[in-house]
Structure 1
Amino acid sequence: MTTIAKITPADRDDWLELWRGYLAFYEASVADDVTESTFARIVADEELHGAMARDAEGRAVGIVHWLSHPATWTASTYTYLEDLFVAPGTRGGGVGRALIEHVKSCAEGEGSHKVYWLTHETNATARALYDKVATSTGFVHYEIPLGR
């Protein structure tokens, strides 16, 4: 059975392993100070939130991070699911779905209007799940990197 709980300071090592796995999956890197800041903000649980999935033996098998923000098309907020990662050996077992459901429940609890997220178009495994639990909007994502 999978359990989902808020990320705490005691989860740091497990979180770091999953975070590094997530970055490796996307062939990305983040400076160590940014990783430390990210973990601290998740643990503070003020603007940035995080939860960890553990299997029946207590092993960390997934993480999710999200934030809520004001929106112009509703009087409430939108919830952005920013990061979702499930350890490769446990994919397809319901962990991703449980993490999404956790974020959905938290968003509903705070009165958010919707939960949304992005994924890479080549991430077929994740998209198979997303197509079951959400609706693809057809929007194309653009971004402008800023000089930081």
Structure 2
Amino acid sequence: MDMIQASLNELHETAALFDAYRQFYGQAADLSAATSFIEQRFLLGDSAIFLAKNASGEAIGFVQLYPSFSSVAMKRTWILNDLFVSASNRQRGVAKALLNHVELFAQASAAQAIRLATAVSNSPAKALYETLGYENMSAFEHYSKSI
């Protein structure tokens, strides 16, 4: 399995995975909108997207990170916002490989941390994160307000 940082060259395969990811979370299929959204991320350079590719070169999973900063630590942090593996490739170590690649990327950028959130009910993901050293930050309560 190969890990690559996606660019405009991988727009269509990245967008297809992104559209499937959104459908997984109950959104209607909209490949055109997914393609436009991912294209903007590439053009603006406001996220980092990595693809997992199988031996045939097919993109089978992706992860998307958004940059942030810790004012207290005065260092970069990465928000792991999206992680998805195609249904036929789950339980094969793809998500773990993507997460390991993200960690190397974060270390190379001198980041202080990688932050992520997952559904309380997502036991398989939580188990994977904890196996890889992620800790539940129960000392903080996170809030959100829709605009």
- Using structure 2 for the length normalisation, give the TM-score: 0.86
Q: Which moved more, 1:117-126 or 1:133-142?
A: 133-142
Q: Stretches of 4+ moved more than 6 A in 1? A: 30-33
- For residue 117 of structure 2, what is the amino acid of its counterpart? L
- For residue 144 of structure 1, what is the amino acid of its counterpart? K
Q: Secondary structure at the match of 1:143?
A: coil
Pairwise mapping of residues 45-84 of structure 1 onto structure 2 (< 5 A)? 46-84=45-83
Q: Secondary structure at the match of 1:103?
A: helix
Q: Secondary structure at the match of 1:67?
A: strand
Aligned partner of 2:130 in structure 1 is 131
Q: CA deviation at 1:34?
A: 5.7
Aligned partner of 1:98 in structure 2 is 97
| Equivalent pair of 1:77/1:112 in contact (CA under 8 Å) | yes
Instruction: Evaluate the alpha carbon distance shift between residue 78 and residue 88 of structure 1 in structure 2; reply closer, same or farther with a 3 A threshold.
Output: same
Pairwise mapping of residues 1-148 of structure 1 onto structure 2 (< 5 A)? 2-28=1-27, 35-44=34-43, 46-133=45-132, 134-138=134-138, 139-146=140-147
Q: Find the aligned partners of 1:143 and 1:33 in 2 and give their Cα distance.
A: 28
| Equivalent pair of 2:6/2:50 in contact (CA under 8 Å) | yes
| Structure 2 spans left out of the alignment, 5+ residues | none
User: What RMSD over aligned residues (CA atoms) do the two structures have, in Å?
Assistant: 2.2
Q: CA deviation at 1:128?
A: 2.2
Q: Find the aligned partners of 2:31 and 2:86 in 1 and give their Cα distance.
A: 21
Q: CA deviation at 1:57?
A: 1.5
Instruction: Evaluate the alpha carbon distance shift between residue 45 and residue 130 of structure 1 in structure 2; reply closer, same or farther with a 3 A threshold.
Output: farther
Q: CA deviation at 1:23?
A: 0.6
Equivalent pairs, count: 145
| Structure 1 spans left out of the alignment, 5+ residues | none
